[in-house]
Amino acid sequence: MPGPAPSAPLGGPLRRGVGGFWRPVSWDEAVGGVAADLAAVAEAGGPGALAVYAGRSAGTAASRAVAFGRTLGSGRVFAWREADEAAFASAAQRVLGHPVRLVPDPERAVHVLRIGAAPGHPGPLRSCPDPGCGPRRSLTIAHPRPGEARTRLALRPGSEVFLVLGLAGAILARGWGDAQYLRDHARGGEAAAGALESWTPERCAARCGVPPDDLLAEALRFARAPMAVALTDSAIFRTPAGSLLAWSLLLLHAATANLLRPGGLYAPPPSPGARTPGPLGRRIRSWATRRLPPVQVVGSPLALLGPPSSPRALLAAGGLPTDDYGPAVAPLLDHLDLIVLIGTPVGDPHPRARWILPSAREPGGRPTEDVLGAILEHLLGGGGGPGPGWRLACNEASVLLQGGSRRLRERVLSPRPAPGAQADRARWDVAHADGRLHLDPPPALCDLSDAPSDPALPLDLFAGEPEAAPGSLPSARIHPSSGHADGARVSIVTPSGSFEARIRWDTDLRRDAVEVSPLPRQAGDLDALDSATGEPWRHGVPCHILARPTRNRKRSRP
């Protein structure tokens, strides 16, 4: 039976002792004890028995946590990042062969499709009829509140995957794409087109709540533009189909020859001088070649802690997976023998937690980066602080988070030409052995359903922009036709619970959409996860609004 939870603020490191009670320890004892426990786990089960998790609160220490696991040779390292980065990493692993980070290039695009973003974005996203302001751009906004744009698609929240599948399917079926590009640089295009035959524009448009002709018109605009790109907001990937949405976006850009090229989605080049190291860089690279294992970063907390061989210990910096991804991943923590919490907000520690090392934000704490470095010093048996290998791992880990594991290996180890020797491509970044894009549809496409939601939850909930002056209750913006009075206090029911909000009328919003700002933790479905990224359902969640009963106050006597 675990002992009582530690009180906050901690005041220094804590260790769980006999009977489950926490006792304060010195920093030297904490660092040495954590290193000894991790060494025992690695000796018994190998480096794969140790998992490293950099959570939402890790901040700048995320790269150091990744470097920590990388230096020890663990194949189980995960850094929390925005939902779109995790989804795109999963899709890029399938299409490009490695989780490279792709960057949209609206500056050079002729047509921009903005999905799920708030209207009124400044800069090059606006249509510009003046020839002196650069290329003439057309803009389409797909959002529950389309705003001011030449072309608007009033999309249902959570239906973005159906929009992109409908666009890609229409382009492939009607021959509007770049067939030469697909023949020369991709494989699996025929399989993707066949899998999308059942997802007709009419079917996808019905799920999105837009006219089919508008969806077909946008598909034609995207395909016929010399350069086109789709911009997305991270919130739209927080659905059980988030990774499928990322794959469909890569397919849309590949079908129109806008993938891996400026003006569309492309891989940014490495920083200048990264491939010309000096004498010190060559010595560090030689050390890295001998000592550092291959980079392996998993794509989801499920892959971090799940089968086929579960780890025995978890070092968590900046939060546990349950803090960032909900209680659905909690059973995976129960199989661990040891959990080390570094810079992690502590409420009720997990029963498997043995060490708590506070961050510099708490009294008696230290920077998480310094704590990780001190533990690594004990593990590697060095003196006088971590050596150049640790600093190299820390610097290159930040590149890993931004640019993908293959580019990191190219920078640390000897550079090599891109697979397939595609000399005619401006920047070809494909790691498959054949040097081609793999567009074969993922299994998640077979499980996708457009069945209507529960009639008891007829509305779709999504997160809004942060308010300039937030009140005590979150604001729930709905169309006046909902029947709720402006300013009324209501309860919003979702699959993961209910919360109170204040009604705000918005005539530009879809009638079946509810925009809440800020979105509370219980607003969503934390049991419905994306199988590839582990993201819970937090966008387009079915909900219902209940009016709070009015209390009759008795008039006091004079």
Q: Residues 264-285: pLDDT tens digits?
A: 998 766 544 333 333 333 333 3
| DSSP 8-class letter at 512 | T
344 versus 125: which is more confidently predicted? 344
Looking up tokens 């016929």, which residue turns up? 224
Cβ–Cβ < 8 Å for 246, 234 = no
pLDDT in tens, 25-60: 999 999 999 999 998 888 888 877 899 998 877 876
**How much is the pLDDT for 121?**
37
**How much is the pLDDT for 350?**
86
| Helix/strand/coil percentages in the chain, nearest 5 | 35, 20, 45
d(CA 164, CA 265): 15
**How much is the pLDDT for 555?**
47
d(CA 397, CA 389): 12
**Least confident window among 80-94, 297-311, 402-416, 498-512:** 402-416
**How much is the pLDDT for 551?**
54
Which candidate, 506, 519, 524, 537, places its Cα nearest to that of 473? 519
| 3-state SS assignment for residue 180 | helix
135 versus 334: which is more confidently predicted? 334
d(CA 17, CA 21): 5
Q: Which two tokens stand for residue 103?
A: 């960057």
d(CA 177, CA 222): 9
Cβ–Cβ < 8 Å for 545, 490 = yes
Q: Summarize the confidence of residues 119-126 as an average pLDDT.
A: 37
d(CA 386, CA 364): 23
pLDDT in tens, 236-260: 998 999 999 999 999 999 999 999 9
**How much is the pLDDT for 3?**
56
What is the percentage of the chain residues whose pLDDT exceeds 90?
A: 39
> Measuring CA to CA, how many Å separate 381 from each of 371, 376, 378, 386?
15, 8, 5, 9
Confidence of residue 437 (pLDDT cuts 50, 70, 90): very high
**Least confident window among 298-312, 339-353, 429-443, 480-494:** 298-312
What is the percentage of the chain residues whose pLDDT exceeds 70?
A: 74
Residue 302: enclosing H or E segment and its boundaries?
helix 301-305
Q: Summarize the confidence of residues 177-186 as an average pLDDT.
A: 94
**How much is the pLDDT for 443?**
92
417 versus 379: which is more confidently predicted? 379
**How much is the pLDDT for 359?**
87
Q: Summarize the confidence of residues 524-535 as an average pLDDT.
A: 77
Confidence of residue 293 (pLDDT cuts 50, 70, 90): very low
**How much is the pLDDT for 322?**
81
**Least confident window among 83-87, 404-408, 447-451:** 404-408
Which candidate, 295, 357, 455, places its Cα nearest to that of 27? 357
pLDDT in tens, 380-431: 765 444 444 444 445 444 444 444 434 333 433 333 344 443 444 555 778 8
d(CA 360, CA 347): 17
Cβ–Cβ < 8 Å for 353, 342 = no
CA angle, 334 as apex, 328 and 335 as ends, to 5°?
115
**Beta strand pairing status for 76-79 and 228-232?**
unpaired
Looking up tokens 């959990």, which residue turns up? 339
**How much is the pLDDT for 83?**
67
**How much is the pLDDT for 239?**
92
Using the predicted structure, report yes or no on whether residue 116 has a pLDDT greater than 60: yes
Q: Which two tokens stand for residue 170?
A: 């229409």
Residue 541: enclosing H or E segment and its boundaries?
strand 541-547
Cβ–Cβ < 8 Å for 506, 515 = yes
d(CA 473, CA 463): 14
d(CA 193, CA 168): 8
Which candidate, 198, 237, 192, 200, places its Cα nearest to that of 216? 200
**How much is the pLDDT for 279?**
36
Q: For residue 490, what are the β-bridge partners?
A: 501, 547
pLDDT in tens, 5-16: 666 567 889 999
- Rg of the chain (C-alpha set): 26
Q: For residue 502, what are the β-bridge partners?
A: 475, 489
Q: Summarize the confidence of residues 454-469 as an average pLDDT.
A: 82
| DSSP 8-class letter at 346 | -
Cβ–Cβ < 8 Å for 339, 350 = yes
**How much is the pLDDT for 403?**
40
| DSSP 8-class letter at 439 | -
Cβ–Cβ < 8 Å for 170, 191 = no
Q: What is the mean pLDDT of the chain?
A: 78
Maximum C-alpha span of the chain: 91
- The answer to whether the peptide bond before residue 308 is cis (omega within 30 degrees of 0) is yes
Using the predicted structure, report yes or no on whether residue 558 has a pLDDT greater than 90: no
Category of 549 on φ-ψ map: left (φ > 0), alpha (ψ -120 to 50) or beta? beta
Using the predicted structure, report yes or no on whether residue 130 has a pLDDT greater than 50: no
Going 32 to 34 to 35 to 39, the CA torsion angle's sign is positive
